[in-house]
Amino acid sequence: MDTIQNIITERVDDFVLLIKVMMQLGLPAILDRHIPRHWKQKGMSWGWVATIWLAHIISQGDHRKLTVQDWVRQAHTTLEETTGLDIRDTDFTDDRLTIVLRELSKAKYWHAIERDLGQNTVWVYDLSAERVRVDATTISGYHSGGGRKPVSVWKEQG
């Protein structure tokens, strides 16, 4: 009747959210579509390596390749559960990260990746208004800051 439970403790930060947002953007698939995979390549695709590495950079505030493999090791189970992938210890070695970086720096790949990512972008334009309605308030004040021109709030008359 005695069952032994295997308890895994991992520190879960914001990287799960970051990876899920990148998955919604289709980032791993877009990168995989444009960065060629060597026919002998084993393990994780370049799109997933880059996505997880980017989550590491943003989450940890550390762009060094040196720290990625240790970070992946300490978050291994959480990363596998988040991505649905089988992550090997060798997927995030310095040489694999160097290959991803080199491929991303090629203009023909980068422009195609940028174009595909742009398909998932919402553009917001600063449209000028023909008419502005300002409701009166019962207070007045003078505010400045943020490099903008001062804004006046006028007291209601009457």
Kindly report, residue by residue over 42-94, the tens digit of the pLDDT. Answer: 889 999 999 999 999 999 999 999 999 999 999 999 999 999 999 998 999 99
Residue 91 lies in a domain: yes
**Residue 16: per-residue pLDDT:** 94
Query: Per the structure, how many domains does the chain have?
Result: 1
Q: Cα separation of 138 and 144, whole Å?
A: 20
**Residue 158: per-residue pLDDT:** 47
Please give the model's pTM, rounded to 2 decimal places.
0.71
Residue 57 lies in a domain: yes
Determine the Cα angle at 12 with ends 7 and 17, to 5°: 135
Residue 74 lies in a domain: yes
Write out the residue range of the structural domain in which residue 72 sits: 15-118
Determine the average pLDDT of the residues in 111-140. 77
Kindly report, residue by residue over 88-123, the tens digit of the pLDDT. Answer: 989 999 999 999 999 999 999 999 999 999 887 777
Residue 31 lies in a domain: yes
Q: Cα separation of 50 and 104, whole Å?
A: 9
